[in-house]
Chains A and B, each alone.
Chain A
Amino acid sequence: MHGKKWVNKGVHPSHHKGTHDCMSQKITLPDRILMPMQQHIGAPCRLLVARGDRVKVGQLLGKAEKYVSAHVHSSVSGTVSGITALMFPAGNRVETVEIIPDGLQEMWEGISRPKHSTPEEFLQAVADSGLVGLGGAGFPAHVKLKAPPGKKTELLVVNSAECEPYITSDYRECMENAEGIIDGIQQILDHLSIPQAIIGIEDNKPEAVHKLRKLIQKDPRITVQILKTRYPQGAEKMLIYSLTGRKVPAGGLPLDVGIVVMNVNSVSFLSSYLSTGIPLITRRVTVDGNIVARPGNAVVPLGTPVGRVFEFCGGFTREPAKIIMGGPMMGTALYSLDMPVMKYTNALLAFDAKAADRGKETSCIRCGRCVEVCPMDLIPAAINQAALREDVDQLLRLGSINCIECGCCSYICPAARNLAHSMRLAKWQLKKASAKEGSVQ
């Protein structure tokens, strides 16, 4: 069965899923680890260690103290060699612990199987695990799972759409750890008394569908639904609409329609955390791009420098011009190969100058393609013009705030206009304008 709705928007970039059949391989320990105190959406953690401290695997390095935040744990045993302010691609600096691993990988004494008999204990365990959305968004999981007072979660949607080109991290989880995924789902349903779960998966992954379906035969609460392969099928609002026909209200959250969305890797991690107590310290990363010698899926200790991961995959065959953390549609271009792998790093891609070239921006020809593909039903061409004029009233009227930054508009534009970028600019201008208004009042 195909998704119910949402069939005519979005784009079809070539899949490039060449790493589909690449078994995950553990990479060897790097000689340096960088652990930023913010690897999630939300507030940074409070640093708990200092230069010269010896740390162990799974030890808490940064404590989440704000409501929307997530703990950071050490992925290695070793010595803290320094605390730096690492510059992130967005230009902000984040407090970062640098650790020199000792190679012993000694487990921290504090690790134990978490108690999780009541819903409160369960949510506490999720928080303690340091889990954030592993599909690339990086939103703290315990915050997501907690239904605000008065609202009830009716449905857990498990996202395995993996609609971005190149990335096969979710698919590999389905193939290598389907049991873990199902167990994780069952734990969440049991503990939070959610009546049902749907796993959404694109129709280009039949083996994974088969594997999951076999495992859920005895649990009537869980179904697997096949989605049309289309980008951005995995965006929360689109996924929910495709699977249930429900529209998350503009400006709202999935919980407004009684739904929580989690990535497959996130649910299977929970399963393993509940049985071992080992927090989130490694993750699978798809390594690909047109200049990577041996593309594949690597299991990487968090904090490993990106360059080290590429080395593990045979290095580059040509000079890299662009390194992307995440997918080619929504990922972030890195300025340096020294950036660490973080909790939300689902892919690392490297491209040469030719592949990185998006073409020169020319005048909008009003072809309407951006309007045709925008899943949020916006008029990107008009928002682009308004943002360039800094016309805040017009930006408001055009509903710019609803943009999910999926990049479909920029992808399709024959004039190579940087539409998605101007959407970010638009939101920033709106924020600035409303702040000004606030200060006047």
Chain B
Amino acid sequence: MSELIISSSPHIRSNDSSRRIMIHVLVALLPATLSAYIYFGVRSLVLTAVSIAACVISEYGIRKLLKRDMTIQDMSAVVTGWLLALNLPPQLPVWMAVFGGFLAIVLVKQLFGGIGQNFMNPALTARVILLISFAGPMTRWAIRGDGADLITTATPLALLKEAGGRVLPDMPKYIDLLLGNVGGCIGETSALALLLGGLYLLVQRVISPVIPLSFLGMTLLFTWAAGGPSGIFTGDGLYHILSGGILLGAFFMATDYSTSPITTRGKWIMGVGCGLLTGVIRLFAGYPEGVSFAILIMNILVPLIDRYTLPKPFGTPKKGGGTAHA
């Protein structure tokens, strides 16, 4: 008889794997990608494909270079590339997407040790670097007009800001926000598609509802309270959470495992923090949109949040010194 395997318990494992989780995320991105194709045309698909390729090739290259185990099979680089693309404007030059993918993987993810180790969201960090480096192309929005060509437009949030928080008759309607018939990044415009994807992630238990709920809830509350044209509690909070990158951010970016807190209490703090910062930036800063910055700021705070939300082991007395680690 051949040797028996000696290993410590448990001897069985659930059939979940990192790769399966990543594939769930990819599936959840399909609706938003489809809506992008409808409103921004085939160019959105090209950008997405290029960004994914850039990420996967970068990961392959740097793992080889650093002589580490190959990790592209876990599909996380595909997720990063795809998410980056969805955070880019539809008319961005292709080489910028390649550059972004390279930044996301090499600078943000791999130099910190790879999956699970990076403390800022790779796709978002790359996006913000691109935004700062190429402000023009990164803020040029366009949408398919009546013909096949894209025509320049403004994002709903920019219009809202200009109008002092008032939803004017010539601005996009709720239905446009739901379907994605508005200017914006490739994957952020259709609220419906993003909600569908988010729901899929929740049902598959890839993410917990805590961060999306608290993020969206907080921004809704804040913009309703402080974003109105005629005083407190006159803002259109719903318009706010249906426009811009907030749904993409709340379901797909702020929930990124590597860069969000590990405990449920921590996740509440993350979500509320993101929601509040998004609201503040949107209403009071120079930019109409604040989701990326809000999430990145919270990313930096995650180690701190984790430290202060460390749960007490079962059976530790609620009050007093107790024996947390006796």
Contact = CB atoms under 8 A, between A and B. Distances in A.
A180 interface: no
Contact of B10 (A320, A328, A336, A351): A328
A333 B260 CA distance: 37
A119 interface: no
A interface, over-half SS: loop
B4 A407 contact: no
Contact of A329 (B10, B116, B311): B10
Contacts of B311: 377-379
Contacts of B258: 365-366
Interface residues of A, number: 71
Contacts of A412: 13-14, 16
A421 B7 CA distance: 9
Interface stretch (A196-204, A247-255, A260-268): A247-255
A175 B77 CA distance: 54
A13 B12 contact: yes
B314 A330 contact: no
B11 A324 contact: yes
Given A365-B116, A378-B313, A379-B262, A165 B12 contact: yes
B262 A331 contact: no
A185 to B, nearest CB: 26
Interface string B60-97: 00000000000100101000000000000000000000
Contacts of A337: 1
Contact of B11 (A336, A356, A379): A356
Nearest to A356: B5
A388 interface: no
Given A250-B315, A399-B325, A411-B14, A365 B8 contact: no
A400 B310 CA distance: 12
Which of A319, A351, A366, A410 lies at the interface centre, i.e. has the most chain B CB atoms within 10 A of its CB? Answer: A366
A367 B311 CA distance: 17
A376 interface: yes
Contacts of B326: 250-251, 401
B11 A396 contact: no
Interface in A370-395: 371-372, 375-379, 381-382
B71 A363 contact: yes
A99 interface: no
A359 interface: yes
A399 B262 contact: no
A97 interface: no
Interface stretch (B120-128, B160-168, B244-252, B316-324): B316-324
A418 B2 contact: no
A366 B299 CA distance: 14
A336 to B, nearest CB: 7
Contact of A335 (B4, B315, B324, B325): B4
A364 B114 CA distance: 10
A163 interface: no
B116 A364 contact: yes
Interface string B7-36: 111111110111011000000000000000
Contact of B314 (A250, A320, A321, A407): A250
B37 interface: no
B70 to A, nearest CB: 11
Contact of A369 (B16, B74, B313): B16
A415 interface: yes
A402 interface: yes
A367 B21 contact: yes
A11 interface: yes
Interface string A328-347: 11111111110000000000
A413 B324 contact: no
A362 interface: yes
Contacts of B115: 363, 365
Contacts of A82: none
Given A331-B9, A365-B18, A381 B262 contact: yes
A172 interface: no
Contacts of B260: 366
Contacts of B314: 237, 241, 247, 250, 375-377, 402
A416 B74 CA distance: 13
B12 A250 contact: no
A363 B12 CA distance: 19
B6 interface: yes
Interface in B267-325: 306, 310-317, 322-325
Contacts of B233: none
A86 to B, nearest CB: 16
Contacts of A353: 5
Contact of B8 (A336, A369, A397, A421): A421
A322 B74 CA distance: 28
A18 interface: no
B152 interface: no
B105 to A, nearest CB: 15
A258 interface: no
Nearest to B256: A366
A173 B324 CA distance: 38
The 7 A-B pairs of least Cβ separation, nearest first, read A407-B10, A402-B313, A251-B326, A399-B313, A250-B315, A414-B16, A366-B257
Given A351-B11, A424-B8, 8 more contacts: A250-B323, A322-B4, A336-B4, A364-B116, A365-B21, A367-B18, A375-B314, A412-B13
8 contacts: A165-B12, A252-B315, A353-B5, A365-B18, A368-B263, A402-B325, A412-B14, A420-B8
Interface of B: 1-2, 4-14, 16-18, 20-21, 71, 74, 76, 114-117, 208, 257-258, 260, 262-263, 306, 310-317, 322-326
